[in-house]
Amino acid sequence: MSTPHNSAEKGDIAKTVLMPGDPLRAKLIAEKYLENPKCFNEVRGMLGYTGTYKGKELSVMGHGMGIPSVGIYSYELFNYYDVDNILRIGSAGALQDNINVMDIVIAMSATTDSNYAEQFGIPGHFAPTADFHLLELAVAAARETGSTFYVGNINCSDTFYRDDNVNENLRKMGVLCCEMESAGLYCNASRAGKHALAILTMSDHIFRDEAISAEKRQTGFTEMMEIALKVASQL
């Protein structure tokens, strides 16, 4: 049963999926960590693979940039392919002074300026929140690996280049970092009765002139990947 965005058949995708934004990072993870990976999707260049990790079936697939993109791919995985768990493994820009480039943030919740949740007809503002069990496992894995990590609220924005001072206001409210996908993922997981978590590596700092290269974003986030793999191996 393929979709307009995914050529996989039912059964081709594991119950747990690791999702980076960059499809080439998905390819890297499959080739570096999975045994016998098989490509199940190449539609629109959004690569997806299924293999095994420590004897457990596991898939990895890109989700693209922004809530509309992750909204499509995660919806289809949860609702058409019987996926139970999605772990977003992505990049973000740090907001707080104590958080440095290459540190890790585990997103407990995702503040957003997107109106994605309006479709669910909830008065006021829905609070997109991670699955607590996945959060617990990720914190334990990060401690085990000795990672420098933080847990808390992140900002999920529809805009990458801003023309206002909202980032300063977010920083005052204790928001840890900025990215563009997790709120949509958390909404879809909540609606489907499934489980989601975002584990993020800081690729730059919003208030300091610090950033890593595009190449390192694609190939250098191994610590985050290994935390996610530890979580996936326990599901």
* CATH code assigned at 90: 3.40.50.1580
Domain total of the chain: 1
Q: Establish if 44 belongs to a structural domain.
A: yes
Task: Specify if 8 maps to a domain.
Answer: no
CA dist 158 and 173 (Å) reads 19
Structure tokens at 235: 């599901």
- pLDDT one-digit tens code per residue, 78-119: 999 999 999 999 999 999 999 999 999 999 999 999 999 999
Average pLDDT value for residue range 191-213: 96
Q: Is residue 87 part of a domain?
A: yes
Residue 2, pLDDT > 90, answer: no
* Chain segment 9-29, per-residue pLDDT in tens: 999 999 999 999 999 999 999
Instruction: Please report whether residue 6 resides in a domain.
Output: no
Question: Does any domain span residue 208?
Answer: yes
Can you tell me the distance from the alpha carbon of 95 to that of 104, in angstroms, rounded to the nearest whole number? 13
Domain assignment present for 5: no
Q: Which positions are annotated as active-site residues?
A: 204
Q: What gap in Å lies between CA 197 and CA 189, rounded to an integer?
A: 9
48-88 tens-digit pLDDT? 999 999 999 999 999 999 999 999 999 999 999 999 999 99
